[in-house]
């Protein structure tokens, strides 16, 4: 497996780019790349040549997360302005504005069936679930304090929720927190199941394997990438190689590789079977906030975005 640089777009946004995801293809168009920036905009790009299709405005502070519905017809952007804006990908019409208290939105992801949008609730130490048919808030999953925590930490900011990931069957939701713990929920019963431990610094990004439903990957400020059996509560492997915070992780559609982005300014490709980095890409001049593999069925692609305002696109084979 390897990455080959296809194209880099300098100054793709006016400020740092903190978020990227792929919008699945529909009957009328191919897949698109969606990016969100601290310049308060969301941009849609035609992949391969990185031609800008559309710029979406509507937020009054920086965009920290973007998510695409499995249908490819609509997407969402979350901002430091405490709003999640849901919009039609092809027309840019606003479908919903989801409001949360100050600083209560961080990363978010649609469930595999597209019926629920899960939004990490930041300082509220919870994850909010929104019904995508009505855009009503249907559940709030509160993150419990790990047993080992000191009483003085009970209400501390360490429970701040940064990241979320759905299992491939949509039955489980994992959430990463500032204190390094990962919480796993049974969504159907709105029930906390257990913590996954091993990190001691913020867990910035989570991704389940699309081919091994129990396998969960985490990226942390401790410079490690962990691989968990999320059902068995066991740490299966710890991978190191980055020299600084690991800010993002994504799993390839075939489940054989993961990609990570780090504040050491690199993108790394890891062989899951070997549990080792097999390639390091140094396209960016600043920390890499987002990595995202292209959808299954399309050409093998990986995109990365950075504080340097650029997007890099790679061929993955």
The full 3-state SS of 214-262, as one line of letters, equals: CEEEEEECCCEEEEEECCCCEEEEEEECCCCCEEEEEECCCCCEEEEEE
pLDDT tens, 179-189? 999 999 999 99
Q: Residue 148: what pLDDT?
A: 58
Cβ neighbours for 208, distance < 8 A, ≥ 6 positions apart: 165, 166, 167, 168, 174, 215, 216, 217, 230, 251
Token readout for 128 is 């909010």
Q: Residue 99: what pLDDT?
A: 87
| 149 within some domain | no
CA angle, 204 then 225 then 233, to 5°:
90
Contact call for residues 230 and 184 (beta carbons, < 8 A): yes
| 116 within some domain | yes
| 275 within some domain | yes
- Res. 207: pLDDT tops 70: yes
Q: Residue 41: what pLDDT?
A: 94
Number of folded domains that form the chain: 1
| pLDDT tier, 157 (very low <50, low <70, confident <90, very high otherwise) | low
Token readout for 84 is 């999640």
| 151 within some domain | no
- Res. 154: pLDDT tops 90: no
**Domain range spanning residue 65?**
3-144+157-316
Question: Global pTM?
Answer: 0.94
- Res. 275: pLDDT tops 90: yes
pLDDT tens, 39-73? 999 999 998 889 999 999 888 888 999 999 999 99
Mean pLDDT of 136-140: 94
| pLDDT tier, 147 (very low <50, low <70, confident <90, very high otherwise) | low
Cβ neighbours for 155, distance < 8 A, ≥ 6 positions apart: none
| 150 within some domain | no
Contact call for residues 104 and 65 (beta carbons, < 8 A): no
pLDDT tens, 77-104? 998 888 899 999 999 999 999 987 766 7
Q: Residue 220: what pLDDT?
A: 97
Token readout for 110 is 């649609």
CA gap 305, 43 in Å, rounded: 12
Q: Which of 120-129, 201-210, 274-283, 295-304 has the lowest mean pLDDT?
A: 120-129
Q: Residue 81: what pLDDT?
A: 84
| 215 within some domain | yes
**Which phi and psi angles does 232 have, rounded to 5°?**
-85, 0
- Res. 151: pLDDT tops 60: no
| 86 within some domain | yes
Q: Which of 36-40, 67-71, 118-122, 259-263 has the lowest mean pLDDT?
A: 118-122
| 152 within some domain | no
Cβ neighbours for 156, distance < 8 A, ≥ 6 positions apart: none
Q: What is the CATH number of the domain that holds 80?
A: 2.130.10.10
């Amino acid at each position: 497996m390897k990455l080959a640089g296809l194209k880099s777009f300098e100054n793709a946004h006016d400020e740092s780019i903190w978020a990227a995801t792929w919008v699945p293809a529909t009957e009328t168009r191919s897949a698109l790349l969606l990016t969100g920036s601290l310049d308060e905009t969301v941009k849609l790009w035609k992949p391969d040549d990185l031609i800008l299709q559309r710029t979406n405005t509507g937020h009054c502070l920086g965009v920290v997360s973007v998510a695409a519905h499995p249908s490819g017809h609509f997407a969402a952007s979350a901002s430091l302005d405490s709003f999640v804006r849901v919009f039609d990908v092809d027309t840019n019409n606003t479908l919903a504005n989801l409001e949360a208290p100050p600083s209560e939105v961080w990363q978010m992801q649609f469930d595999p069936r597209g019926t629920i949008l899960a939004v990490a609730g930041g300082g509220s130490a919870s994850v909010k679930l929104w019904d995508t048919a009505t855009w009503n808030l249907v559940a709030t999953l509160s993150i419990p304090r790990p047993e080992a925590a000191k009483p003085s930490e009970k209400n501390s900011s360490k429970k701040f929720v940064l990241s979320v990931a759905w299992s491939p069957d949509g039955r489980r939701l994992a959430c990463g927190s500032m204190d390094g713990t990962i919480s796993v929920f049974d969504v159907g019963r709105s029930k906390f199941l257990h913590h996954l431990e091993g990190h001691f610094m913020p867990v910035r990004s989570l991704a389940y394997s699309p081919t091994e439903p129990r396998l969960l990957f985490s990226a942390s400020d401790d410079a490690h990438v962990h691989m968990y059996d999320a059902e068995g509560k066991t740490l299966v492997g710890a991978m190191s190689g980055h020299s600084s915070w690991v800010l993002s992780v994504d799993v390839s559609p075939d489940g054989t590789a993961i990609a990570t982005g780090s504040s050491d300014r690199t993108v790394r490709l890891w062989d899951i079977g070997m549990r080792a980095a097999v390639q390091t890409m140094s396209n960016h001049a600043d920390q890499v906030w987002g990595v995202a593999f292209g959808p299954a069925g399309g050409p093998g692609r990986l995109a990365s975005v950075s504080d340097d305002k650029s997007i890099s696109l790679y061929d993955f084979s």
